[in-house]
Amino acid sequence: MRSIRSMLLALCFSLALSLPLFAGDWPQWLGPQRDSVWRETGIIQKFPTNGATIRWRTPIGAGYAGPAVAKGRVYVIDRQLNKGANNPSDPFQRGIIPGTERVLCLDESTGKILWQHEYDSPYTISYPSGPRATPLVSDGKVYTLGAEGHLFCLNAKDGKPIWSHEFKKDYNIPTPMWGFSASPLLDGDKLICLVGGTNTTAVAFNKNTGKEIWHALSSKEPGYCPPTIIQGGGKRQLIIWHPESVNSLDPESGKVYWSHPINIKFAMTIPTPRQMDDLLFFTSFYNGSMALRLDHDKPAATLIWQSKKVSEKDTDALHSTMVTPFLENGYIYGVCSYGQLRCLKADTGDRIWETFKATTNDEKEMRWANAFLVKNADRFFLFNEKGDLIIAKLSPKGYEEISRAHILEPTSAAAGRNVLWSHPAYANHSLYARNDNEIVCVNLAK
């Protein structure tokens, strides 16, 4: 009976999430339901022999932030250096680098820039290429978060500001080492953000006015993990994972339901937590993986298993840097610390297989190598840091590559090589991806 009840709750939760959404849009981080599933049909099975078909290319500035696509428009954030300013040769180095951030709105059919909103934003962060968080589009508004904590609500039609916040000024907090990176979450009338500080690690703002609704949690550093809504114990739960603990909150009030302590090295809480039935999964670069079991009857969780090794190279389970894993049918698929695409058994963390074929050209380990995973029908689209788009099947039997095409050149310097670390969007039978020079739209219609 508990199993049936959990299944029904999950189904209702899924339906509730999907009701106001448009199948052809990708309006936020990880897609319409924030689950990295692309639900459009009529998508190609293989790429043409002459490669992928590019619909358009548009020059833009640098950034890690992926695009969002909604109602015939594409939204993306970039960075413009001031004249004479340069990023340091060592991306770990921090200083004050003058420049601006821009929110760009493009016509989906042509790539033409329709409007832009530009604001001053001197960078003080490590890896200062550009902003990190994906725009969020809803009900005629676009919400954006810059790397230095500039939160904007803009009119989606013309880019005019409706309200804004500056996290550093408004909450008297420093910029995290790698900037404000957690893509905001829209839940009802609340825009929920990872901010930082004492009692303000998570803050909910009114989506129409920007007025604070509630604030919660304290941590020395906020980390970089997007807020996430799950269903468990008969309640909708807001999961905030910061470097000191996993926390479940009542999304309406910010009241803490439960917390599970965990000390994450170098504050690298980055990949989005993933739920599968009553299992809640987390992964990070040094600390590895952790699986919690959600209580059936109340908001609570207990530890099922946890990585025994805190290491970037001597790894067990999955030590992901930035790639959000995918969970289905009792298995976990994700990219480990040196580019190993792995399959794990979800209830134990035991490794079933691994391969480098999806992430590194020479199939050898490479620090932070990655490929972003998105499910479409019975296969996955993997967009890797070399700018290759791969169609493949992932199952407990192994990795089966079907087709691949080169889409974009990697342009950001990291670990002695150029990389492409921006999550693409999938909408309108197309892929939208960016590097530090341009954004492209690729036709994926059958």
Give the tens place of pLDDT for each residue, 140-175: 999 999 999 999 999 999 999 999 999 999 999 999
Does residue 36 lie within any of the structural domains?
A: no
Residues 397, 344, single domain; the answer is yes
DSSP code at position 37? B
Give the list of residues 6+ apart from residue 103 with CB closer than 8 angstroms, or none: 75, 76, 77, 116, 117, 118, 135, 142, 144, 152, 154, 159
What confidence tens digit (pLDDT) does each residue in 202-211 have? Answer: 999 999 999 9
Higher model confidence: residue 20 or residue 394? Answer: 394
Residue 4 pLDDT exceeds 90:
no
Does residue 75 lie within any of the structural domains?
A: yes
Tell me what percent of the residues of the chain surpass a pLDDT of 90: 91
Residues 249, 291, single domain; the answer is no
d(C-alpha 264, C-alpha 99), whole Å = 32
d(C-alpha 222, C-alpha 182), whole Å = 9
Residues 397, 279, single domain; the answer is yes
Residues 141, 221, single domain; the answer is no
Using the 3D structure, point to which of 206, 237, 266 is the last residue of a domain: 266
| Token pair of 337 as six digits | 């610390």
- Binned at pLDDT 50, 70 and 90, residue 22 comes out as very low
Q: Which pLDDT belongs to residue 429?
A: 97
Using the 3D structure, point to which of 222, 241, 266 is the last residue of a domain: 266
Using the 3D structure, point to which of 160, 194, 210 is the last residue of a domain: 160
Q: Please state the rounded mean pLDDT for residues 226-239.
A: 98
Residues 58, 90, single domain; the answer is no
Query: Residue 192: which domain range?
Result: 182-266
Residue whose C-alpha is closest to residue 199's, from 147, 237, 256: 256
Residues 276, 405, single domain; the answer is yes
| Token pair of 53 as six digits | 């078909």
d(C-alpha 35, C-alpha 78), whole Å = 25
Does residue 19 lie within any of the structural domains?
A: no
Does residue 94 lie within any of the structural domains?
A: yes
Residue whose C-alpha is closest to residue 268's, from 336, 222, 326: 222
Tell me what percent of the residues of the chain surpass a pLDDT of 70: 95
Residue whose C-alpha is closest to residue 127's, from 368, 408, 372, 431: 368
Coil, helix or strand for 419?
Answer: strand
DSSP string, 352-393: EEEESTTT-TTSS--TT--EEEEEETTEEEEEETTSEEEEEE
What confidence tens digit (pLDDT) does each residue in 343-386 have? Answer: 999 999 999 999 999 999 777 899 999 999 999 999 999 999 99
Residues 189, 141, single domain; the answer is no
Give the helix/strand (H/E) hosting 410.
Answer: none
CATH number for 239: 2.40.128.630
Least confident interval from 82-91, 123-132, 299-308: 82-91
Does residue 288 lie within any of the structural domains?
A: yes
d(C-alpha 367, C-alpha 416), whole Å = 10
Q: Please state the rounded mean pLDDT for residues 175-188.
A: 98
Residue 6 pLDDT exceeds 60:
no
Residues 220, 80, single domain; the answer is no
Q: Which pLDDT belongs to residue 237?
A: 98
Residues 359, 379, single domain; the answer is yes
Angle at 26 between CA 185 and CA 204, to 5 degrees: 10
The number of folded domains in the chain is 3
Q: Which pLDDT belongs to residue 15?
A: 47
Does residue 17 lie within any of the structural domains?
A: no
Q: Which pLDDT belongs to residue 392?
A: 98
* Average pLDDT of every residue of the chain: 94
Residues 145, 70, single domain; the answer is yes
- Binned at pLDDT 50, 70 and 90, residue 1 comes out as very low
Residues 255, 287, single domain; the answer is no
Q: Which pLDDT belongs to residue 91?
A: 86
Residue 20 pLDDT exceeds 50:
no
Does residue 29 lie within any of the structural domains?
A: no
Higher model confidence: residue 343 or residue 8? Answer: 343
CATH number for 92: 2.40.10.480
- Binned at pLDDT 50, 70 and 90, residue 16 comes out as very low
- The label of the residue with tokens 């954006």 reads 144
What confidence tens digit (pLDDT) does each residue in 69-96 have? Answer: 999 999 999 999 999 999 998 888 899 9
Residues 277, 247, single domain; the answer is no
| Token pair of 345 as six digits | 């058994």
Does residue 144 lie within any of the structural domains?
A: yes
* Number of neighbours of residue 344 by Cβ within 10 angstroms: 28
- Binned at pLDDT 50, 70 and 90, residue 23 comes out as low
d(C-alpha 173, C-alpha 151), whole Å = 14
